[in-house]
C-alpha cells in the first residue's frame, strides 16, 4: 500500500514538473509546519494570484511587469539588487524602467558568452555563484551598480515559456554580509519564474487570438470594400500584397492572375517595381504584358496549379524548386518561399508567391496557417472582381453595338440592284482592267464601286457557293458601315479589295479556295466603322472602342510578322505547304493591300495623300482644342514636312513590305517599281522646296468653331 502511494505521488510530481521545462528538479523535502512556513505559503499564494492576473489581463508589457515585481523578489530573497534583462532575437538587452531596451547595453546570446545573463539565456538554466569576485568563467560578470558596494552572491534565472522560448532573465545579487543563495531561495525563484513563463505564454496566446479576430475583421472590411466599391484589379492585388508582406514579414510578393484562353490556362504576373526595393508597402503592383502558359512553365507556378496545395519551399535544394524557372522571381535572389494557389469551387483564380522570409531561414507553420485563413477572403474578392470586369465589358459592348446598330439602320442610298458584267456594258468594259494592281477607278465611275465589288466577289468565290441576294446585302451593308470620313472610307475599302483581287487573279494557284474567300472578304471589311481617328486619340478621349479593345483599338498591323518571314526566307526554310508560313504570307498580302494607295500613279497618290492628311489635321485640330499638342504629322501648321514624311514612310515601310512580297510572289514586281518611282517623286519635291508642294496642296481648311468630338 505504501509502495502504491509512493508511485502515485511520484507520477504527480513528474506531471507538475512538466510545467517548467529545463528547470532543475528537486526531491521533496519534509519540513515542520511552523507558523513562519504557513505565513510564507499564504503570501506565496497571494503573490502568484496577483502575478497571474497582471500577466493575463490587457496588453502585456513584459518590461513594466518585471520591473514592478522585481522589488518583491528582492525582498523575498533578501537580495541587495535585482535586475531585468530582455531578449530580442539573438540579443540580450539590459532593461531599465525608463529607457528603451535597444538603447541600453546588449550582448549576443551564445554558449560561451562572457556575460552571465547571456549564457543563462542561451542554456535556459539558472546559475548560482557564491562569490562573484572569485569566479573566472564569465569575464564580463554581472551588472555592477555601485563599485563601492560590490555584491558577493548571485542568482541568475531564465524566464522561459512552456514552448521553450526565453524572453528574459532575472538577476538577483546579495551583499557580502549575507549568506549565499540556498536551496530554498532557488526553489522559490524557479517556481515564480516558471509561473511567469506559463502566464506570459498564455497571455501571448490570448493576444494572438485577439489579433486573429482583428485580422478577420479587417478581412471582412477588405472584402466589403471590394464588393461595394469600384476598385480595379491592380488596386486589389496591391492591397493583398501589402497585407501579406506586413503580416508574414516577406521581402517580395509575386501575384499570378489566371485567365482561361479557349482551352489553355495562362497567367499574368503582377510584380513590384524595381524602384520599390525592399519597402514594406508597395504603391502599385504592375502587370507584365506577356502571359505565362501553365503547361510550358515547369516550375512552382505550374506545380501549385496542379496540386492545389500550399507549398513551403524552405531552400533552393527543395526538389520542387526549378532554378531555371524560379531562380529570379520578383527580381530578387530566391532563398525560400510560400506558394499559395487560390481557387474557387471549379477553377483557379490566382497563385500567390511570397518570397524570402525577412530575418528567418524559412517560413513557419504559423505563416502557412495565416495564408490558409486569408485564402477564402482573397478568393471571394478576386471572384467578384472577375465578374464585375466581365459585366463592365458587356455593358461597353452593348453601348458600342447600340451605336453600331444606329449607324447600320440609316437609310441606304444604294438601293438599286447590283449588276453583273454580263448584264451591263459599262461594267463589262471596266472590269477586265482590274487585274492590274496599279489600276485606279476614275472619278467619273464612282457609282460603279458596288457593281465592281459584286463582280470581284463572284469572280473569286465559286459561283455555286454564292447566295446572290445575301452577297448584295453584304456589299450594301459594308458600304453603309464605313463612315463619311476623308480617307478611311468606303473608297479605301474598295481600293484594298481591288489590290487583293489582283493578287489572287494573277496567282490563282497560290491560294486555296477558302483562303481566297477569306482574303477578299477581310479586305472589304478591314476598316469598317473607322471613326477617322487613330488609336492614341481614342484612348485619349476614352472612346468606347478604346475601352472595349484596350490592346488593339483599331486594326493592328503586326510588323513582327515581317521579321519572322524575313528570318525564314534568309534561312531558306520557307515552304508553301507549311500552315504557319502561309499565315505570314497572307499577313504580308493584307499589309501590302492596305498600303496599295501609295503604289498608284503619282497624281492618284497625291490625291489620296491629301485626303489622308486632311483626316490627320482634323484630329490634330480637335486635340489642340482639347489642350493636347498634336504630333507634327497631325499639325496643320507643319504641312510643309509632308514630302519628307512620305519619302521616309515609303522607304521604311512601303518598299520593304513590297520587296518581301515580291520575293514570295514575283509578279508583284510592278508594284515595287511603282513604289520606287513614287519615292523618287517625293525626293524631287523635297529638293525643289516647300513652294512647289504648296502649289499642289488641295487641303480643305476646317473652321475652328466647327470642331467638336463626334464619333457618329
Q: Is the pTM of this model over 0.85?
A: no
CB 599 within 8 A of CB 646: no
Residue 658 has pLDDT above 90, yes or no: yes
Q: What is the pLDDT of residue 273?
A: 66
How much of the chain, in percent, has pLDDT values that exceed 70? 74
Query: From the centroid of its chain, how far is CA 211?
Result: 29
The catalytic site residues sit at 488
Residue 221 has pLDDT above 90, yes or no: no
Let me know the angle formed at the C-alpha of 398 by 397 and 403, rounded to the nearest 5 degrees: 100
C-alpha cell at 651: 522607304
Alpha helices, DSSP H, located in 322-364: 323-326
Q: Closest Cα to residue 506, out of 676, 704, 671?
A: 671
290 Cβ contact partners less than 8 Å away, ≥ 6 residues apart: none
Grouping H, G, I as helix, E, B as strand and the rest as coil, residue 156 is strand
Grouping H, G, I as helix, E, B as strand and the rest as coil, residue 192 is helix
CB 171 within 8 A of CB 82: yes
> Has 667 been labeled as part of a binding site?
no
Cα 368 from Cα 362, distance rounded (Å): 11
CB 408 within 8 A of CB 477: yes
> Has 465 been labeled as part of a binding site?
no
Using the structure block, give the residue that is written with the C-alpha cell 528582492: 74
CB 647 within 8 A of CB 672: no
CB 239 within 8 A of CB 270: no
Q: Using H for helix, E for strand and C for coil, what is the string for 376-424?
A: HHHHHHHHHHHHHHHHHHHHHHHHHHHHHHHHHCCCCCCCCCCCCHHHC
> Has 527 been labeled as part of a binding site?
yes
Cα 76 from Cα 434, distance rounded (Å): 114
pLDDT tens track for 577-602: 888 888 889 989 999 999 999 999 99
Q: What is the pLDDT of residue 372?
A: 85
C-alpha cell at 250: 516577406
Using the structure block, give the residue that is written with the C-alpha cell 506565496: 44
pLDDT tens track for 474-525: 888 888 888 888 888 999 999 999 999 999 999 988 999 899 999 999 999 9
Residue 222: left (phi > 0), alpha (psi -120 to 50), or beta? alpha
Let me know the angle formed at the C-alpha of 74 by 71 and 77, rounded to the nearest 5 degrees: 145
1 Cβ contact partners less than 8 Å away, ≥ 6 residues apart: none
pLDDT tens track for 98-137: 765 555 678 888 878 888 888 889 888 888 888 877 777 7
> Has 164 been labeled as part of a binding site?
no
Q: Closest Cα to residue 25, out of 132, 125, 155?
A: 125
**Furthest CA-CA distance within the chain:** 137
561 Cβ contact partners less than 8 Å away, ≥ 6 residues apart: 584, 587, 588
pLDDT tens track for 599-648: 999 999 999 999 988 888 888 887 788 788 877 788 888 888 889 989 99
C-alpha cell at 462: 465559286
State the DSSP H helix or E strand holding residue 154, giving kind and residue range, or none if neither: strand 153-160
Residue 337 has pLDDT above 80, yes or no: yes
How much of the chain, in percent, has pLDDT values that exceed 90? 13
> Has 646 been labeled as part of a binding site?
yes
Q: How many CB atoms lie within 10 A of CB 331?
A: 14
Number of H helices, E strands in the chain: 23, 13
Q: What is the pLDDT of residue 554?
A: 40
> Has 526 been labeled as part of a binding site?
yes
CA atoms within 13 A on the CB side of 500: 33
Residue 12 has pLDDT above 60, yes or no: no
Q: What is the pLDDT of residue 540?
A: 61
350 Cβ contact partners less than 8 Å away, ≥ 6 residues apart: 255, 256, 257, 258, 267, 341, 342, 378, 382
Cα 154 from Cα 167, distance rounded (Å): 20
Structural domains for the chain: 20-206 (3.30.450.40), 230-390 (3.30.450.40), 420-525 (no CATH), 595-712 (no CATH)
What DSSP string runs through 207-229? HHHHHHHHHHHHHHHHHHHHHHS
Grouping H, G, I as helix, E, B as strand and the rest as coil, residue 502 is helix
DSSP class of 25 = P
Q: What is the pLDDT of residue 655?
A: 93
State the DSSP H helix or E strand holding residue 585, giving kind and residue range, or none if neither: helix 579-594
C-alpha cell at 585: 504570307
Amino acid at each position: 500500500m505504501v509502495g502504491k502511494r509512493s508511485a502515485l505521488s511520484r507520477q504527480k510530481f513528474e506531471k507538475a514538473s512538466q510545467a517548467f521545462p529545463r528547470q532543475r528538479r528537486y526531491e521533496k523535502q519534509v519540513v515542520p509546519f511552523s507558523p513562519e512556513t504557513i505565513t510564507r505559503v499564504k503570501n506565496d499564494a497571494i503573490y502568484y494570484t496577483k502575478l497571474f492576473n497582471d500577466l493575463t489581463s490587457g496588453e502585456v508589457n513584459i518590461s513594466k511587469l518585471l520591473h514592478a515585481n522585481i522589488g518583491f523578489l528582492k525582498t523575498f530573497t533578501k537580495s541587495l539588487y535585482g535586475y531585468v534583462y530582455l531578449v530580442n532575437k539573438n540579443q540580450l538587452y539590459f532593461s531599465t524602467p525608463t529607457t528603451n531596451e535597444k538603447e541600453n547595453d546588449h550582448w549576443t546570446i551564445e554558449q560561451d558568452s562572457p556575460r552571465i545573463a547571456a549564457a543563462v539565456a542561451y542554456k535556459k538554466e539558472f546559475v548560482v555563484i557564491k562569490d562573484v569576485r572569485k569566479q573566472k568563467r564569465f569575464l564580463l560578470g554581472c551588472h555592477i551598480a555601485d563599485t563601492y558596494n560590490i555584491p558577493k552572491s548571485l542568482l541568475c534565472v531564465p524566464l522561459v515559456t512552456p514552448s521553450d522560448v526565453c524572453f528574459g532573465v532575472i538577476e538577483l545579487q546579495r551583499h557580502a554580509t549575507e549568506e549565499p543563495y540556498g536551496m530554498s531561495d532557488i526553489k522559490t525563484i524557479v517556481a515564480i519564474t516558471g509561473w511567469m513563463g506559463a502566464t506570459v505564454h498564455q497571455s501571448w496566446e490570448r493576444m494572438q487570438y485577439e489579433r486573429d479576430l482583428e485580422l478577420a475583421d479587417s478581412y471582412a472590411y477588405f472584402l466589403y470594400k471590394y464588393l461595394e466599391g469600384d476598385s480595379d484589379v491592380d488596386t486589389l492585388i496591391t492591397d493583398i500584397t501589402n497585407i501579406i508582406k506586413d503580416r508574414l514579414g516577406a521581402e517580395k510578393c509575386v501575384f499570378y492572375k489566371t485567365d482561361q484562353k479557349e482551352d489553355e490556362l495562362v497567367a499574368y504576373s503582377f510584380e513590384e517595381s524595381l524602384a520599390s526595393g525592399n519597402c514594406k508597402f508597395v504603391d502599385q503592383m504592375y502587370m507584365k504584358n506577356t502571359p505565362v502558359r501553365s503547361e510550358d512553365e515547369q516550375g512552382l507556378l505550374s506545380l501549385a496549379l496542379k496540386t492545389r496545395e500550399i507549398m513551403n519551399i524552405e531552400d533552393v535544394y527543395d526538389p520542387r524548386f526549378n532554378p531555371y524557372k524560379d531562380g529570379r522571381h520578383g527580381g530578387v535572389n530566391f532563398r525560400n518561399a510560400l506558394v499559395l494557389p487560390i481557387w474557387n469551387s471549379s477553377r483557379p483564380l490566382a497563385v500567390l508567391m511570397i518570397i524570402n522570409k525577412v530575418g528567418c531561414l524559412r517560413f513557419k507553420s504559423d505563416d502557412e496557417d495565416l495564408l490558409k485563413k486569408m485564402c477564402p477572403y482573397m478568393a471571394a474578392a478576386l471572384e467578384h472582381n472577375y465578374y464585375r470586369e466581365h459585366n463592365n465589358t458587356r455593358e461597353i459592348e452593348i453601348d458600342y453595338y447600340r451605336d453600331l446598330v444606329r449607324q447600320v439602320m440609316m437609310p441606304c442610298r444604294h438601293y438599286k440592284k447590283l449588276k453583273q458584267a454580263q448584264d451591263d456594258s459599262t461594267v463589262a468594259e471596266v472590269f477586265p482592267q482590274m487585274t492590274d494592281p496599279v489600276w485606279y477607278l476614275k472619278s467619273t465611275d464612282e457609282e460603279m464601286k458596288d457593281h465592281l465589288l459584286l463582280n470581284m466577289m463572284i469572280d473569286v468565290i465559286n459561283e455555286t457557293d454564292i447566295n446572290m441576294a445575301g452577297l448584295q446585302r453584304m456589299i450594301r451593308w459594308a458600304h453603309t458601315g464605313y463612315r463619311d470620313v476623308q480617307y478611311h472610307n468606303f473608297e479605301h475599302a474598295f481600293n484594298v479589295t481591288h489590290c487583293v483581287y489582283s493578287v489572287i487573279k494573277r496567282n490563282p494557284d497560290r491560294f486555296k479556295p477558302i483562303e481566297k474567300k477569306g482574303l477578299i472578304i477581310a479586305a472589304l471589311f478591314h476598316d469598317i466603322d473607322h471613326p477617322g481617328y487613330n488609336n492614341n486619340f481614342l484612348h485619349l478621349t476614352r472612346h468606347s472602342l478604346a475601352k472595349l479593345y484596350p490592346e488593339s483599338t483599331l486594326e493592328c498591323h503586326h510588323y513582327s510578322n515581317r521579321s519572322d518571314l524575313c528570318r525564314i526566307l534568309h534561312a531558306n526554310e520557307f515552304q508553301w505547304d507549311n500552315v504557319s508560313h502561309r499565315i505570314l504570307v497572307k499577313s504580308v498580302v493584307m499589309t501590302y493591300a492596305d498600303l496599295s494607295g501609295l503604289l498608284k500613279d503619282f497624281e492618284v497618290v497625291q490625291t489620296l495623300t491629301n485626303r489622308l492628311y486632311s483626316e490627320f489635321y482634323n484630329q490634330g485640330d480637335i486635340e489642340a482644342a482639347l489642350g493636347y499638342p498634336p504630333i507634327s504629322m497631325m499639325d496643320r501648321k507643319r504641312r510643309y514636312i509632308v514630302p519628307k514624311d512620305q519619302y521616309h514612310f515609303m522607304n521604311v515601310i512601303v518598299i520593304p513590305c513590297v520587296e518581301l512580297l515580291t520575293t514570295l510572289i514575283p509578279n508583284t514586281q510592278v508594284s515595287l517599281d511603282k513604289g520606287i518611282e513614287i519615292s523618287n517623286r517625293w525626293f524631287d519635291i523635297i529638293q525643289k522646296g516647300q513652294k512647289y508642294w504648296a502649289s499642289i496642296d488641295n487641303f480643305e481648311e476646317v473652321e475652328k468653331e466647327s470642331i467638336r468630338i463626334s464619333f457618329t
